[in-house]
Amino acid sequence: GAVVSQHPSWVICKSGTSVKIECRSLDFQATTMFWYRQFPKQSLMLMATSNEGSKATYEQGVEKDKFLINHASLTLSTLTVTSAHPEDSSFYICSARNRGPNYGYTFGSGTRLTVV
């Protein structure tokens, strides 16, 4: 089945530093990748949608200069949280949509970011 690898699974960083999260589709080419943020006991909140080779589309209220998304290939997307602050602490999850009429969405295992 489709597998999406997300790294790291957890990270602790100091305020003001930047953190990069990687999302790779291991056995399929992802036409589109999505980045979500999830708060405790809540549903997934879509942050941005990225297509390979083009700029990401950010949801309303998401700071594109703080959350940098790069989708360099059909199998790799990265989310960089720049100048992180404690309020950026959250659970970040990526997802990839595969091609074709029988499309589906596969999620990464998530990254717990703690900013101290």
Partner 1 sequence: QQQVKQSPQSLIVQKGGISIINCAYENTAFDYFPWYQQFPGKGPALLIAIRPDVSEKKEGRFTISFNKSAKQFSLHIMDSQPGDSATYFCAASKAASGSRLTFGEGTQLTVNP
By the criterion CB under 8 A, which residues form the site for partner 1?
6, 31-32, 34, 41-44, 46, 49, 51, 91, 93, 95, 97, 101, 103-110, 112
> What is the 3 state secondary structure string of the chain?
CCCEEEECCEEEECCCCCEEEEEEECCCCEEEEEEEEECCCCCEEEEEEEECCCCCEECCCCCCCCEEEEEEECCEEEEEECCCCHHHCEEEEEEEEECCCCCCEEECCCEEEEEC
| Least distance to partner 1, CB of residue 106, Å | 7
| Least distance to partner 1, CB of residue 110, Å | 4
Of the pair 43, 60, the CB lying nearest partner 1 is at: 43
| Least distance to partner 1, CB of residue 59, Å | 9
